[in-house]
């Protein structure tokens, strides 16, 4: 089973998160206290690897400002916390078909939800019980008279109830009743749930604060385990012991320390080898875990009995230091590999929930961690992780990013109020604090591209990058000229930023071309760029030259009809708010630029509709390539114009 979406409500800062699409890897980006942890913890509660986390605590987790109104808001029921939707694998759908028949199984999606007060979950399975009843009537050869009393039933429980209340039953009716009684609760839906229950993955939640203890008193740990008070760091150490092939009972009764030390050494070496496949910060480190007897002058409880100590050896400086004194990022990485190895061993298929992973890692180490996710985790597991670091945002896969924002608005009296945490797929959100990591990630990728690639194309901003990517990909699919992959596209921030950029990298002998927006007020800046003679004039491609108008942006490369449709699709404009070519033109008749007209039109719309942004339509087009249907004349005209621009750009490779 694969998780396809999750919708959280009534949990901590989340009143209604929106339905969140989940992929093989999903990155939650938002500032501190936005609600990222709340979403992950709500999701974990569906089926956690932590046996103790089997229900939601209403007092602790229901939105506190509404707790006093709980009964009023939810009547006699309990507040729903999370609804998840799962896509069945073919082999799982086949199990249902084998049990009920192909006509009875209505799809390959299962919904699983959980509310406050529930220890188990509520399922909605793709079974049509009416069709099943009709099939059972045929299978058990019930004639018209025998079937009359049950054929209008909507589920098998009702069938069993009616048959059980009959004074006399025919042979066929009795066989049918016996068959239904084999279902848990006489329900076919329950039977489907029982078939699928062990197929649902468990959720492994691991936070930035979960780190293995560097020093453990075996006697104290045994005492804590017996009394149910094991600390999180000590639990990771217990996981390490299991990974080493031993356990706490063996250590407490051990008579041969050398054998135990050998197991711990072997496990530490194995984990260390895994780390250094992805740890590029320092390859001179080793983990050493060994057992010895506590010394009387050490602090309690490490002053007596067997004590396990983890140390990190730096071969370059020939020194060892306690595990807890090493880099917090390194400790976290080691601890996560230990935890993950044991969970996978005991739980099998898991969905990994990582809360601010690698927060203390250096930026390049965070990129290494992303590579570990991509190469080691994603091929076998779904992973959902939260971050506010630009280096943890997968810039090459922005479609996997979801923004997390505690939405604050103002009422009629101009007082602030919160609509709660909202999670959305529009990564280029207008909130600068929320989308800062996304822009940071894009900037990092651009900078890396400038260092690696000798061919740099400067454009106005990130939206131009997205438009070029979307249209170039479509042209390539059609076998038409498309953007040469040798280009590294970089947002310059406008024509006035081009000259400083070229001067900065002039000594690197980069091959630079420029495609920039232009209006009449920028004539002097353009003349300054020409006079500098750092770029040949033909390398400076103005949007006005492509769009054949005196002022233009990249958006003016679009046919008007297509641009209007794109805006309507992006912002879901309907009814009287829906944009048309006439409305666009009339919104600002003084300007030739489509963007200025769109901005003017959006100022006329109700406050419930978001402010127009350059980025939203660009991202929507990139993620909805079906809008570029080549059978549409407006699309063809748009493709033709972008092809002209791309051919001008490629001429300078």
Per residue in 245-304, pLDDT (tens digit) is 777 777 666 666 677 777 777 777 777 777 777 776 667 777 777 778 888 888 888 888
Q: Is 51 a member of any domain?
A: no
Tell whether 270 and 142 lie within a shared domain: no
Tell whether 624 and 496 lie within a shared domain: yes
The alpha-helical segments, DSSP class H, found in 166-320 are 171-181, 188-196, 218-226, 232-243, 248-252, 257-275
For residues 329 and 465, the model is more confident at 465
Cβ-count burial of 504 within 10 angstroms (0-12 exposed, 13-18 middle, 19+ buried)?
exposed
* Beta bridge partner(s), residue 82: 8, 114
* Beta bridge partner(s), residue 424: 403
What's the pLDDT at 225? Answer: 83
Above 60 in pLDDT, residue 90?
Answer: yes
**DSSP assignment letter at 535:** S
Average confidence (pLDDT) over 544-555: 94
Question: Are the C-beta atoms of residues 642 and 471 closer than 8 Å to each other?
Answer: yes
Above 70 in pLDDT, residue 554?
Answer: yes
Cα separations (Å) of 227 from 222, 234, 302, 305? Answer: 9, 14, 19, 19
Strand order in the sheet with 455-459: 488-491, 455-459, 511-516, 540-542
**DSSP assignment letter at 32:** T
Q: Is 586 a member of any domain?
A: yes
What's the pLDDT at 462? Answer: 84
Above 60 in pLDDT, residue 447?
Answer: no
Record the tokens describing residue 414, joined without a space: 């101009």
CA 325 to CA 304: how far, in whole Å? 23
Tell whether 305 and 156 lie within a shared domain: no
40 Cβ contact list (under 8 Å, min separation 6): 28, 205, 353, 355, 384, 386
| Range from 47-56, 448-457, 493-502, 561-570 carrying the lowest mean pLDDT | 448-457
| Range from 40-49, 518-527, 642-651 carrying the lowest mean pLDDT | 518-527
How far is residue 239 CA from its own chain's centroid?
27
* Beta bridge partner(s), residue 8: 82
Tell whether 592 and 541 lie within a shared domain: yes
Question: What burial letters (b/e) apply to 167-186, b meaning 16+ CB within 10 Å?
Answer: eeebebbebbbeebeebeeb
- What is the three-state SS of 115-154? ECCCCCCEEECCECHHHHHHHHHHHCCCCHHHHCCCCCCC
Tell whether 165 and 262 lie within a shared domain: no
Side-chain-side CA neighbours of 410 within 13 Å: the count stands at: 5
Record the tokens describing residue 91, joined without a space: 């082999």
What's the pLDDT at 435? Answer: 65
**DSSP assignment letter at 373:** I
What is the distance in angstroms between the CA of the first residue and the CA of the last residue of the chain? 47
Tell whether 181 and 249 lie within a shared domain: no
Tell whether 527 and 641 lie within a shared domain: yes
What's the pLDDT at 428? Answer: 53
The CA dihedral of 422, 426, 432, 435, to the nearest 10 degrees, is 90
Question: Are the C-beta atoms of residues 260 and 254 closer than 8 Å to each other?
Answer: yes
Tell whether 502 and 587 lie within a shared domain: yes
Q: Is 532 a member of any domain?
A: yes
Question: Are the C-beta atoms of residues 477 and 422 closer than 8 Å to each other?
Answer: no
Q: Is 159 a member of any domain?
A: yes
Side-chain-side CA neighbours of 179 within 13 Å: the count stands at: 18
Which of 491, 501, 490 minimizes the C-alpha distance to 529? Answer: 501
Question: Are the C-beta atoms of residues 461 and 439 closer than 8 Å to each other?
Answer: no
User: Which pTM was predicted?
Assistant: 0.68
Beta strands 511-516 and 540-542: pairing type?
A: parallel
Above 80 in pLDDT, residue 244?
Answer: no
Above 80 in pLDDT, residue 155?
Answer: yes
Question: Are the C-beta atoms of residues 624 and 562 closer than 8 Å to each other?
Answer: no
Question: Phi, psi (5° rounding) for residue 344?
Answer: -65, -35
358 torsion bin: left (phi>0), alpha (psi -120 to 50), beta (else)? left
- Domain boundary at 348, 382, 414, which? 348
Side-chain-side CA neighbours of 156 within 13 Å: the count stands at: 28
| Per-residue confidence band for 326, with pLDDT thresholds at 50, 70 and 90 | low
Average confidence (pLDDT) over 36-43: 96
Q: Which residue has the tokens 């939640």?
A: 205
300 Cβ contact list (under 8 Å, min separation 6): none
Record the tokens describing residue 375, joined without a space: 């190469």
Tell whether 153 and 265 lie within a shared domain: no
Record the tokens describing residue 595, joined without a space: 């963007």
CA angle 80, 86, 87 (to 5 degrees): 160
Cβ-count burial of 33 within 10 angstroms (0-12 exposed, 13-18 middle, 19+ buried)?
exposed
- Domain boundary at 348, 374, 391, which? 348
| Torsion over CA: 165, 168, 169, 174 (sign) | positive
Q: Is 272 a member of any domain?
A: yes
| Per-residue confidence band for 441, with pLDDT thresholds at 50, 70 and 90 | low
646 Cβ contact list (under 8 Å, min separation 6): 468, 471, 472, 475, 481, 482, 483
Q: Is 279 a member of any domain?
A: yes
Number of domains the chain contains: 3
Q: Is 173 a member of any domain?
A: yes
What's the pLDDT at 647? Answer: 97
Residue span of the structural domain in which 170 resides: 129-188
Q: Is 307 a member of any domain?
A: yes
Tell whether 230 and 272 lie within a shared domain: yes
CA 629 to CA 530: how far, in whole Å? 39
- Domain boundary at 301, 330, 348, which? 348
Tell whether 179 and 221 lie within a shared domain: no
Question: Are the C-beta atoms of residues 371 and 392 closer than 8 Å to each other?
Answer: no
CA 620 to CA 635: how far, in whole Å? 16
Tell whether 154 and 217 lie within a shared domain: no
């Amino acid at each position: 089973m694969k998780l396809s979406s999750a919708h959280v409500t009534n949990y901590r800062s989340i009143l209604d998160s929106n339905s969140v699409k989940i992929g093989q890897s999903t990155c939650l980006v938002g500032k501190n206290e936005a609600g990222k942890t709340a979403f992950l913890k709500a999701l974990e509660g569906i089926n956690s690897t932590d046996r103790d986390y089997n229900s939601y605590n209403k007092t602790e987790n229901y939105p506190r400002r509404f707790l006093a109104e709980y009964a009023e808001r939810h009547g006699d029921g309990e507040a729903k916390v999370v609804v998840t939707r799962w896509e069945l694998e073919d082999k799982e759908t086949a199990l249902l078909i084998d049990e009920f028949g192909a006509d009875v199984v209505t799809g390959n999606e299962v919904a699983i939800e959980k509310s406050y007060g529930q220890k188990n979950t509520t399922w909605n399975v793709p079974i049509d019980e009416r069709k099943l009843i009709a099939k059972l009537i045929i299978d058990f050869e019930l004639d018209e008279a025998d079937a009359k009393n049950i054929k209008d039933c909507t589920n098998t429980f009702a069938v069993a109830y009616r048959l059980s209340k009959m004074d006399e039953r025919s042979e066929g009716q009795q066989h049918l009743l016996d068959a239904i009684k084999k279902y848990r609760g006489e329900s076919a839906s329950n039977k489907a749930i029982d078939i699928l229950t062990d197929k649902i993955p468990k959720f492994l939640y691991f936070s930035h604060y979960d780190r293995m203890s560097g020093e453990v008193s075996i006697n104290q740990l045994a005492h804590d385990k017996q009394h149910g008070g094991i600390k999180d760091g000590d639990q990771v150490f217990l996981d390490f012991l299991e990974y080493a092939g031993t356990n706490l009972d063996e250590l407490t009764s051990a008579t041969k320390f050398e054998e135990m030390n050998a197991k711990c050494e072997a496990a530490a070496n194995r984990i260390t080898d895994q780390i250094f496949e992805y740890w590029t910060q320092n390859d001179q480190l080793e983990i050493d875990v060994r057992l010895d007897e506590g010394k009387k002058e050490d602090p309690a409880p490490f002053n007596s009995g067997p004590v396990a100590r983890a140390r990190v050896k730096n071969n370059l400086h020939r020194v060892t230091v306690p595990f807890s004194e090493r880099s917090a990022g390194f400790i976290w990485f080691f601890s996560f590999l230990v935890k993950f190895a044991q969970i996978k061993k005991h739980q099998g298929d898991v969905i990994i929930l990582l809360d601010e992973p690698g927060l203390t890692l250096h930026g390049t180490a965070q990129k290494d961690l992303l590579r570990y996710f991509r190469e080691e985790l994603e091929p076998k597991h779904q992973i959902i992780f939260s971050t506010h670091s630009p280096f943890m945002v997968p810039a090459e896969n922005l479609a996997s990013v979801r923004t997390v924002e505690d939405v604050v608005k103002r009422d009629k009296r101009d007082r602030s109020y919160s609509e709660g945490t909202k999670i959305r797929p529009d990564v280029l959100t207008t909130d600068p604090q929320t989308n800062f990591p996304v822009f940071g990630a894009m900037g990092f990728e651009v900078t890396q591209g400038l260092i690696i690639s000798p061919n740099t194309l400067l454009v106005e901003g990130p939206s131009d990058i997205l438009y070029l990517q979307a249209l170039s990909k479509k042209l390539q699919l059609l076998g038409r000229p498309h953007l040469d992959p040798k280009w590294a596209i970089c947002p310059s921030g406008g024509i006035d930023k081009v000259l400083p950029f070229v001067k900065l990298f002039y000594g690197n002998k980069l091959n630079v071309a420029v495609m920039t927006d232009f209006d009449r007020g920028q004539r002097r800046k353009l003349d300054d760029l020409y006079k500098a003679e750092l770029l040949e004039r033909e390398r400076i491609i103005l949007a006005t030259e492509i769009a054949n108008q005196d002022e233009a942006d990249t958006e003016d490369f679009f046919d008007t009809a297509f641009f209007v449709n794109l805006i309507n699709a992006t912002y879901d404009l309907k009814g009287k708010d829906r944009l048309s070519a006439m409305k666009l033109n009339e919104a600002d008749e003084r300007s030739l630029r489509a963007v200025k007209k769109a901005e003017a039109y959006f100022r006329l719309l109700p406050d419930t509709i978001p402010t127009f942004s350059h980025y939203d339509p660009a991202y929507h087009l990139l993620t909805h390539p079906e809008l570029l249907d080549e059978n549409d004349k407006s699309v063809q005209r748009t493709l033709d114009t972008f092809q002209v621009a791309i051919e001008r750009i490629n001429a300078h490779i």
